[in-house]
Each structure stands twice: as structure tokens, then as C-alpha cells.
Amino acid sequence: MVEINRDELSQAYSQLKSTQSQILQQEKLASIGQLAAGVAHEINNPVGFISSNLGTLAKYVDRLKGFVEYQTTLLETLGDPEKLTALKEERQHQKIDRILEDLADLITESLDGTERVRKIVLNLKSFSRVDQADQKMADINECIESTVNIVWNELKYKAKVIKEYGELPHTLCYPQQLNQVFMNFLVNAAQAIEKQGEITIRSWLKDGFIHVSVRDTGSGIAAQNLHKLFEPFFTTKEVGKGTGLGLSIAYDIVKKHNGEILVESEVGKGSIFTVKIPVLEKNDA
């Protein structure tokens, strides 16, 4: 009887420790989400007026260019030939024509840069979704794409990313939490690749379920470890590179959506992690 109680206490303690760690991890993610949303808001304002000012500057440069061309034409008609020659030489010396051409290119590149920053900010806001922690109708492909953009720095040096998004209906879900699942799969896929490989992201609809899979050409997972993947604190990574909570939290999130995670893996060839969640309408909640 004492041994049974000890076993029960040990199991209860392990479960309590696991739950506490998961709560702490989720609180960390929530804090990061709040920070990301705050940073996105702070970046958005200056980027807005930089973009607006560059747009105005482009119009002014066009007007100046037009005026310089008009002035040149007028001087050729009315001006002294010697002064005209001196003016042309000075124009060439100061590289006025090249400056006018470069100005337009510089402004275009700067506008492209601010547009990229704007998209990053939008992805950051979409990923954090602090104001959308509750259930809402969401586009899963949009969730995947915003997550890919957020973790792009982890992926771009390790793998070619192939996207095969299918047409999906909007579904009632917790977008912020699903973003965490996709982020975990993508980062794990990148870390499983030693040098260069491929990561393929697919989404499709089948029998009323949305499927999202992340396939990598990494090192793969040994067969004896597959059944342990979703256990709290289990990790095959080096010390300091993983808490062993990522997949455990992902499992709980998907379970909360009445879904499941399927894993296929072969050592030396890679792994496929697939999320399967039911399509829900608002009135299904």
C-alpha cells in the first residue's frame, strides 16, 4: 500500500512539475507576444511617416527634374553659345544627369525597404496576436505564412523552403497558439538540418479536417524515440539547446483544438510533422 502511494505521489509530482513548467513556458510566450506587439506598434509609426516623406520626395524630385530639363531647353533656344557650353560642361562635371537618375532609384529602393519593414511589422503583429488570444475565425495559411516570416532568419541559411498551400476554409481556432505550434515545427526542422537541405510546408483540406505538414531533409529521429517526442522535458538536442517542452506544448495546443499530430521519420532522411484539426464554424463553438 505504501509503495502504491509512493508511486501515485511520484506520478502526481511529475505531472505537477510538468504542468508548472508548461505554464511558465506559456507565460514566457505570452510576454514575448506582448513585447512583439509593442515593438511592432513603435516601429509602425516612424515607418509610416518615413514612407510618406519618401513618397513626397519622389514627387518633388520629378518636378525638379522636369524644371531642369525645361531650363536646359530654354537656354539652348535663348542663351549665349559660349555660356551654354560652359553650363553643359559644369553640368557634366557635377554629374547632374546621373544624380537625377540615381535620386529616383534611391527613393524607389528606400520605399521598397520601408514596405519590407511594414510587412515584417504586420507579420509580427499577426504572429503575436495579443489582442486575439481568444477563439476567432482565422485563415490557417495566413498563420503559417506569418510564422515563416518571423522565423525566416532561422530557416534561410539552412534550407530551401518550399510552400505548397492548398485552398482552406477559415476555421474557428486560437491563431496565436497555432502559430506557436508551426514555429516549433519549423525551428525543429531547421535545427535537424546540419548543412543545407529542404523544408517543405504543405496545407490541404480532407474530410472536414485541415492538415498542415512540415517536412525536412534533416537527420531524422530514431524509432525508439518517436513515442517519447511529446513527453515533457524529452529532447534529443544538446544541453542548452532545448527545454524539451516545445513539442509537449504543441501537443496540448493541438489537443485543445480536438486535433492530432502525426509524425513520420527515418534516420538520415528526415521527418514529417503533420497537424490535423477539424474545420469549425462560429456556431460549432
> Looking at the predicted structure, is the pLDDT value of residue 184 above 80?
yes
Mean pLDDT of the chain: 79
Query: What is the predicted pLDDT for the residue at 108?
Result: 86
Decide if 142 contacts 173 (C-beta within 8 A). Answer: no
pLDDT for 58-74, tens place per residue? 888 888 888 888 888 87
Query: What is the predicted pLDDT for the residue at 67?
Result: 84
CB atoms within 10 A of CB 205: 15
Tell which wins on pLDDT, 242 or 151: 151
Q: d(Cα 204, Cα 277) in Å, to the nearest integer?
A: 11
Q: d(Cα 158, Cα 270) in Å, to the nearest integer?
A: 14
Q: d(Cα 270, Cα 263) in Å, to the nearest integer?
A: 11
Query: What is the predicted pLDDT for the residue at 39?
Result: 67
Query: What is the predicted pLDDT for the residue at 80?
Result: 74
The rounded percent of the chain whose pLDDT value lies above 90 is 23
Q: What is the mean pLDDT of residues 21-37?
A: 57
pTM for this structure? 0.59
Query: What is the predicted pLDDT for the residue at 172?
Result: 93
Tell which wins on pLDDT, 40 or 55: 55
Query: What is the predicted pLDDT for the residue at 28?
Result: 55
Task: Write the CA distances from 117 to 39, 41, 112, 127, 259, integer angstroms.
Answer: 12, 12, 9, 15, 35
- 136: enclosing H helix or E strand: strand 136-138
CB atoms within 10 A of CB 163: 13
Tell which wins on pLDDT, 217 or 128: 217
Task: Write the CA distances from 61 to 70, 80, 95, 100, 116, integer angstroms.
Answer: 14, 28, 16, 8, 23
Query: What is the predicted pLDDT for the residue at 60?
Result: 86
Decide if 191 contacts 159 (C-beta within 8 A). Answer: no
Q: Which residues pair with 215 in a beta bridge?
A: 200, 272
Residue type, 13: Y
Decide if 216 contacts 270 (C-beta within 8 A). Answer: yes
Q: d(Cα 52, Cα 110) in Å, to the nearest integer?
A: 11
Decide if 285 contacts 135 (C-beta within 8 A). Answer: yes
pLDDT for 5-28, tens place per residue? 666 666 666 666 656 555 555 555
Tell which wins on pLDDT, 205 or 227: 205
Task: Write the CA distances from 72 to 80, 92, 93, 248, 275, integer angstroms.
Answer: 12, 13, 16, 72, 67
Task: Write the CA distances from 187 to 18, 78, 84, 147, 179, integer angstroms.
Answer: 22, 69, 65, 10, 12
pLDDT band for 37, please (50, 70, 90 cuts). Answer: low
> Looking at the predicted structure, is the pLDDT value of residue 124 above 80?
no
Q: d(Cα 148, Cα 33) in Å, to the nearest integer?
A: 16
Tell which wins on pLDDT, 110 or 200: 200
